[in-house]
Every structure is written in C-alpha cells, then in structure tokens.
C-alpha cells in the first residue's frame, strides 16, 4: 500500500472542536513519515469561525486545504466534495470531533493490506470493549435498531455503518462517490452499498471510539434517517447507481 493519504474532515460550526482535532492530526502525520499527506477541511456553510480556524492551521501544515460547500448541504455532500477533490492515493474521512483517534488509521491500513480491500469501515460494534465513552442508552439502542433495518433493506453485512471513520482507495472512491445521491446522514449506507455493487472489497474493522459532546444530529433527524436504507434500495431498483 503506497503511503499517500488525504484526510477529509466535514465541518459545520466546528470552531471550538476543530483546532484540537487539527493539532492531533498534524502531529500524527508528522510522526508517520508519509511521503505525501494532506488535510482537507470541507466547510458545510458554517456560520461561526470554522473557516478561519482551518485557514490558520495552514501556517503549521501547508498541505491543508479548505473547501467550501454552497451553503449547508449536509454531511454526505461535504464528504463527497472532499473525496472528489483529494490528491492522495488513499482517502480517510473522519468526523471533526475525532471520536475515533486518528491513530486508528494505522489499524485500517493494516486491514486493507491484509485483506486486499479497497474500503475499510471503522466499526464500534465489532468490539464494544474498545468504546471508552458510550452514547446515551437511547442513542446506542436506536443505533442497533437502525443497523438491523439497514441490513434488511440493503443486504449489507456490516454491524456499524455510521461510525465516521472510513478509508477508501481514491480510485475506488471516485467511482463510488460520483454515484452518491444522498446528502444527509444516509450517505454512509449508500456509498457502502454502491461500493459492493461495483465489486470493491470492503472490510469492517473494530476501532477505538469515544462519544464526544456537541453532536449536531438531533434525535429527530436521526429517526428520519431510518428511511435512508429503503431509499437506497429503491434507487438501486430504479437503476440510479448504474
């Protein structure tokens, strides 16, 4: 596996959490000895100082780019924007709160090399002993129900599609994300579904994870996300991922 990486961070009103996240990622990349590494912060129409914070980090890490969405379009739109603009041979997308430590990128890389895969899916569900700080009882159990319905709707075998820590071979990512239709929370299910349809090997990998306060996802929006796997299935029936 060529050590060339793009790290994509979708960000919406992340002025407070983003500085610490960028410091940790920059420190990790400097330790890793990557021949080429870049950070892409995709601003999703923030109304706070997210863009300014990201721009300031360029002084410390010149290979940091800030992409701006045309308004608040959704996490799925932001990740797709970054994936289609990245320059590394591999592309990781990570949530801005860094709930999965950036060091777990090494774990995903090892799984990719071991299994000859093009996609590695960070998972909280494969080994729950790796969860340091849990979500509320309600959110954890809603997640389990969502996963059961997601499997029923799409046939995907994954135990956790919603962890915001996934690694893609960029060549595969371009084919997958240019077919993506969902801009909201359901995009994770959709891109994994498309990847399997295209014949890419996808592996689920247990990773460390800690719940971080300040989620932008309301319980109501989370419940609406239950429709997304069925919309993915309907889009597939209609041939919209061809």
What is the DSSP code string of the chain?
---EEEEEEEESS-TTTHHHHHHHHHHHHHHHT-SEEEEEEEE-S-SSSHHHHHHHGGGT-SSEEEEE-SS---HHHHHHHHHHH--SSEEEEE-TT-SS-TTHHHHHHHHHHHHT-SEEEEESSS-GGGEEEPPPHHHHHHHHHHHHHHHHHH----S-S--SEEEEEHHHHHHHHTT----STTHHHHHHHHHHHTT--EEEEE--EE--S--S--HHHHHHGGGHHHHHHHHHHTTTT-
Q: In CATH, what number is assigned to the domain containing residue 126?
A: 3.90.550.10
pTM of the model: 0.94
Q: Is 83 a domain residue?
A: yes
Range of the domain at 193: 4-237
Q: Length of the chain, please?
A: 242
Region 86-103: mean pLDDT is: 97
In a domain, 16, yes or no: yes
How many separate domains does the chain show?
1
With beta carbons less than 8 A apart as the criterion, state whether 115 and 226 touch: no
| Cα(235)–Cα(229) distance, integer angstroms | 10
pLDDT band at 27 (very low <50, low <70, confident <90, very high): very high
Region 154-183: mean pLDDT is 97
What's the CA gap between 21 and 193, in Å, rounded? 29
Confidence tier at 56 by pLDDT (50, 70, 90): very high
* 164 pLDDT tier (thresholds 50, 70, 90): very high
Rounded to the nearest 10 degrees, how much is the dihedral formed by the CA atoms of 219, 222, 226, 228? 160
Q: What is the mean pLDDT of the chain?
A: 93
Residue 242 in any domain: the answer is: no
> Is 229 a residue whose pLDDT tops 60?
yes
CB 230 within 8 A of CB 153: yes
């Amino acid at each position: 596996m060529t050590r060339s990486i793009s790290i994509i961070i979708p960000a919406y009103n992340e002025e407070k959490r983003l500085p610490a996240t960028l410091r940790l990622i920059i420190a990790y990349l400097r330790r890793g000895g990557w021949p080429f590494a870049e950070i892409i912060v995709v601003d999703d129409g923030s109304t706070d100082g997210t863009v300014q914070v990201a721009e300031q980090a360029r002084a410390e890490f010149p290979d940091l780019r800030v992409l701006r969405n045309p308004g608040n379009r959704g996490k799925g739109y932001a990740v797709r924007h970054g994936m289609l603009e990245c320059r590394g041979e591999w592309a990781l997308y990570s949530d801005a709160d860094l709930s999965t430590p950036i060091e777990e990128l090494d774990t995903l890389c090892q799984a990719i090399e071991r299994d000859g895969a093009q996609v590695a899916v960070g998972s909280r569900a494969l080994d729950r002993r790796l969860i340091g700080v849990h979500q509320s009882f309600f959110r954890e159990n809603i997640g389990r129900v969502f996963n059961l319905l997601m499997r029923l709707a799409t046939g995907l075998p994954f135990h956790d599609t919603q962890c915001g820590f996934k690694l893609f071979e960029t060549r595969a990512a371009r084919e997958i994300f240019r077919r993506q239709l969902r801009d909201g929370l359901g995009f994770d299910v959709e891109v994994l579904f498309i990847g399997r349809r295209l014949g890419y090997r996808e592996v689920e990998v247990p990773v460390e994870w800690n719940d971080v306060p300040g989620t932008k996802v309301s319980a109501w929006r989370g419940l609406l996300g239950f429709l997304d796997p069925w919309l993915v299935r309907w889009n597939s029936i209609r041939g919209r991922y061809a």
